[in-house]
Amino acid sequence: MSTSLEVHRIDSYAISNTYGTNELHLLPKDPEWVFAYWEVTQHKKDEFLDMLSPDIKEKGCWKLKINNLSNGTFSLHDVDIDTSSWYIHTCNPDSLVSSDLGLYLPNGLFISLLSSNIIYTSRNAPSNVANVYYINIFDKMKEYGKKYLFKGLGYISTSGSEAYFGVSSYNLFNKRKDD
C-alpha cells in the first residue's frame, strides 16, 4: 500500500491591525500597572492637527495622561501615537483611573485627542475592613427541608446536623430499623 502526501493550500488571511475607529481603552493589570490601547485614524489625527497652529504642532509631543480620579492627580507618559498600546506604571492602587491621549505643550497645556473609560485599580494589600458578617441560613434550610425535601421520611431529629437540615445523611440513604 503506497501513501502519498497531499499538500493542502490554506489561504492565509491576516488579522487587521486597525479597525478604523477612534478609541482609547484602559485595562487594569495589577494594583500599580494599567494597560492602555488605542486607535486613531489618520483622518482624526489630521483633523486634530489642522485645528492647531504650526507652532503648536512643532513644539507639542504626544503624551498619555493618566488621571487619578480618587485624589485628583495626574501623570504624563511619553508615547508614540502609532504604537497603539502601552503598559503604564501608575503607582495608583485602590483608585479610580482614566486617561487621555493628546498633545502636551511646553507651557504645560495638554490638548486631549481621545479620552478613555474609567477603571478601578485593585488594592495592593489586604482589606482594611476586618468586620465579618455571618448569615444564619440553617433555620431557613431546615424550614425548606421540612416543607419540601423530607416530607416522606417521617423522622426529624433535633440534634447535630439533623437539627439544621431536618434529616441526617444516614436516614436519607438507609432505612430505619423500625420501618
15 in a structural domain = no
Provide the domain limits for residue 164: 138-173
- pLDDT given for residue 128 in this prediction: 78
Residues 146 and 108 in one domain: no
- pLDDT given for residue 76 in this prediction: 96
- pLDDT given for residue 31 in this prediction: 94
Closest-CA residue to 95 (of 12, 11, 176, 32): 32
Residues 109 and 32 in one domain: yes
What is d(CA 127, CA 83) in angstroms, rounded to the nearest whole number?
Answer: 37
Residues 108 and 150 in one domain: no
6 in a structural domain = no
Closest-CA residue to 24 (of 53, 64, 62, 55): 64
Closest-CA residue to 65 (of 78, 80, 46): 78
Which stretches of the chain are DSSP H helices?
A: 42-50, 54-59, 138-144, 160-165, 169-173
Cα of 22 vs its chain's centroid, Å: 21
Q: What is the pLDDT of residues 68-127, one digit of tens each?
A: 999 999 999 999 998 999 999 988 899 999 999 999 999 999 999 999 999 999 999 887
Q: What is the pLDDT of residues 5-38, one digit of tens each?
A: 777 666 677 777 889 999 999 999 999 999 999 9
Residues 106 and 143 in one domain: no
* DSSP secondary structure of 68-102: ETTTTEEEEEE--TTT-EEEEE---TT-EEEEEEE
Residues 147 and 63 in one domain: no
129 in a structural domain = no
12 in a structural domain = no
Q: What is the pLDDT of residues 139-162, one digit of tens each?
A: 666 666 665 555 555 544 455 555
Residues 169 and 100 in one domain: no
Predicted TM-score (pTM) of this structure: 0.64
- pLDDT given for residue 65 in this prediction: 97
33 in a structural domain = yes
Q: What is the CATH number of the domain that holds 93?
A: 2.60.40.10
Residues 59 and 99 in one domain: yes
User: How many structural domains are present in the chain?
Assistant: 2
Q: What is the pLDDT of residues 51-82, one digit of tens each?
A: 999 888 889 999 999 999 999 999 999 999 98
Residues 80 and 167 in one domain: no
What is d(CA 44, CA 81) in angstroms, rounded to the nearest whole number?
Answer: 12
